[in-house]
Structure formats: structure tokens, C-alpha cells
A and B are shown apart, each in its own frame.
Chain A
Amino acid sequence: MNAYVRLLLCATLLATPALQAVASHPAESVYHLEASLTNQTGDEHGLDIYSGNPVLITMFYGRCPMTCPLLIDTLKAIERSTTAEQRARLRILMISIDPENDTPEALLQLAKQRRIDLTRWTLARADERTVRKIAAVLGIQYRKLPNGAYNHSSVIALLDPNGVVVARSSMIGKADEGMLEKIAKY
């Protein structure tokens, strides 16, 4: 009997960290989505790669002629507008909607071209079905055009450390003040 209780206790203790990890995300967290992403160096990770940090998350495609370069400019503008302390915590995740062309090599090249700091930024791709789901949890719209280009809404979302969308902005070209106020909270 005693041994049984000890075994039970032991099992409970062993199980607890795993349970906590699952239970720690609030119901509205996008980190509930099981998504397999591949980053610019070919490493695989989930949507929750930056869990624990505030994250600016957006969707783009590398061959995009106009909006996506502007999206990167906007993300950099937001970064520049934060304090050094905020910047040290803030992470940026850009997910491609064009898995066909945005290979890890293409993403790495884009990162180098745009002098992106890969210690705090990640450029990632996922398969078509996963992209559709990530767009759905983020409320981002996109559509592939017959010529291979994409229409997509230029939305930057701010995730809190638990993966809950706490701010969204369609402002392109400069830092959204509302977004900056939210970033200051984390």
C-alpha cells in the first residue's frame, strides 16, 4: 500500500512539469496550434519558438516587390522605437506564405540582404496547410494569384509571452504608437 502511494506520488511528480507546460498557455494562446516551421538555417521548431518573450509576428513572402520590404522596414522601425531593455526582450517572427519559393536558403539570403539580426529575428516557412492555419489564428488574410504572386493583409501582431495576440496593426512604414505602448508592458 505504502509502495503504491509512493509510486503514485512519484508518477504525479514526474507528470507535473509536462502538465504545467500544457496548461500554462491561456485558452486564447496561438501556441496551442501544433505547427512545424523551418527557419532560415533549416532548423525545425514550433510556432512557440519565442514562448516567454513578447513577439512581433507577421506573414510575408520573399518575392513580394513592395509590401514585404515595407513590412521589414516597419518591424525595424518598431524595434528602433523601443528602449534597449524592451528590445532585449522583444523577438520577431516572420512566416512565409510562399513555401514553394521561400526555402531556408532564400530566407537566409533575404535576412543577409536586409541585415536582419538573426539572434532575435526568425524567418520561417511551413507547408501550405500549416500556413493556412497560422494565418487563421493570427487573423491574417492571403490569397495566391494566378501569376504566382500573393495578396495578403499586412498585419503585424504582438504576442504576449504566453502567445496571446494583444495588439494588431496594419500601419506600414512607421511604428504604431498603440503597439509601442503594449510592448512597454512586457
Chain B
Amino acid sequence: MRTDALRLMAASLLLIGSTTDAAGTRAIADAPLQITIPAGELASVLPPAPGVKTVRVAAFRLDHTPVTNEQFSRFVAEHPEWRRDRVAGVFADGSYLSHWRSATEIEPHQRNQPVVYVSWFAANAYCESRGARLPTWHEWEYVAAASATEQDGRNDDEWRQTILGWYSKSARHSLPEVGKTPVNYYGVRDLHGVIWEWVDDVNAMLVSSDNREQSSPDALRFCGPGALTMEEKENYATLMRIAMLSSMQANYTSKTMGFRCASDFGTHGRNKP
């Protein structure tokens, strides 16, 4: 009797975080499963400082798919201060969750679609509720540099073409469901070809290399990615991300901007049963 109960518990634990059950139908996990990403170095398109080429990324854990409408709706149910009819404007603009049926209900077809029309503050609050956080830009870029077979596939012309092909198809009426794109080298999906994603340090991307330049601080703050010392300019897809993120205020929402969460290695967020 006791072993049966234990076995049942073990079985249900195995189901948590899995996206596909034995019958092959999608089982909705409360939160996306997190994948461990080993430490490494990245030649970032956004170098940390002038003259510094590579960024050291510590081991961390990353959701293998973006957060879905259904997952976000559970968060909103538990944290009503994040309902679209209650949230303060300073945290989310007027379009926040405007695609949902109501302040608490989603449309059935939206269940497995990535949640969009979420602000940086809302994305942050969701991740914190899981004991997690948003990935930093360098963490995101590090994992997004991987192709299906290589840790850094950015110099692979075919991979680059595949990515650009996805971006050129972006004018969709309906977002695809999460988890439908191929896994990359780490086992992570949907980094390209589905949505734009918030990062933790979104307000760190436009800082000029030296703010002691007194000439025109506004030009430095607002002239876009041109203000950055960016490398690897052939990586258009990544540069588009930076341009997009740089244009967002933390309370903005958009119909193509969603997110996924990350955790420090060893302190992975709770996947609530």
C-alpha cells in the first residue's frame, strides 16, 4: 500500500515538467521544464566593454519553451494584482493581456501559444513567483547561438539562412504553439521563429560605452543600436532582437513579445506540483 503510494508519487513527479505523456498527447506542465546550460564563453554581438570580445556565461537553467497563456493565466489567478483590469499603468500599458477573453480567461486556442502582450514587470513577477528570474541578454544570446548540432552555429551559413527564413515569415495572424520548433544543441526550443523575448537586463542595452561624453547624452540614449559597439554584424537576427528590446520601455507590451524564465544553477525554480 505504502509502496503503491510512493510509486504513484514518483510517477506523478515524472509527469511534472514533461510536455508529452505516454499516449503522445500534450500534457500541460504548470511551468516549462528547465534545461541546464553548461558554463561557457560567447563572442557576443554586444560586448561587455570596449576591447572585450568574449563574455563568460556561468552555468544556469533555462525554460525549454516560452511561457504559455495557460501557464500565465494560472499566475494571474494566484496574483490578481497582475490582472489586466487591476495592474498599475506604471507596470503595464493599456494593451497588457488584451488578447485574452477576459481579465482571467484565455481563448481555448491560446492555451499552448506563448503568452504575449506582457510587460517586463509582469514577466519578472511571473518568474519570481516560480523562484526564478528572466535570463540576462548574454545568457539568452549564448543559448540562441546554438544550432541543432553545434554549440555556436552562427558561422554556419545554412543555420543562419534558416533563422532569417523564420524571421521573414513573422507576419502571422496566429502565433504557433510552443515546442513545435526543433530542439537546439542544449535541448531548448523556440528561441528563433516564434516570438521576441524579454530579458532581465533590458535596460542595460543602450548605454553608450562612455557616458562621460558630455556632447549629447540624448543622442546616445536614443539613437538606437548604432550607439553600441556591436560586433558580428552579420548576425542580423540577433541584432534585430537588440533593436527590438532597445525600443521597449519596461511597461510596454506587444503582440509578439513574450518571455521564458531562467534560474541560477543549483537554485532552479520551483516546478509546482
Contacts and interface: CB of A to CB of B under 8 A. Distances in A.
Interface of A: 25-30, 32-33, 66-67, 129, 132-133, 135-137, 139-147, 151-154, 170, 172-173
B121 A141 contact: no
A30 B48 contact: no
Interface stretch (B6-14, B162-170, B176-184, B211-219): B211-219
B90 interface: yes
SS class of chain A's interface: helix, strand, loop or mixed? loop
Contact of B207 (A28, A132, A141): A141
A67 B211 contact: yes
B125 to A, nearest CB: 10
9 contacts: A27-B88, A28-B88, A28-B90, A139-B250, A153-B206, A153-B221, A154-B211, A170-B218, A172-B214
A142 B212 contact: no
B201 interface: yes
B147 to A, nearest CB: 28
Nearest to A33: B90
A94 B122 CA distance: 26
Interface string B199-227: 01111111111111010011001000000
SS class of chain B's interface: helix, strand, loop or mixed? loop
Q: How large is the interface on B (under 10, 10 to 19, 20 to 34, 35 or more residues)?
A: 20 to 34
A170 B203 CA distance: 16
Contacts of B124: 133
B88 A136 contact: no
A152 B207 contact: yes
B38 interface: no
B89 A132 contact: no
Contacts of A133: 121, 124
Contacts of B204: 141-144
Contacts of A152: 207, 211
Nearest to A26: B89
Scoring A129, A140, A144, A170 by chain B CB atoms within 10 A of each residue's CB, the highest score goes to: A170
A139 B88 contact: no
Contacts of A33: 90-91
B214 A136 contact: no
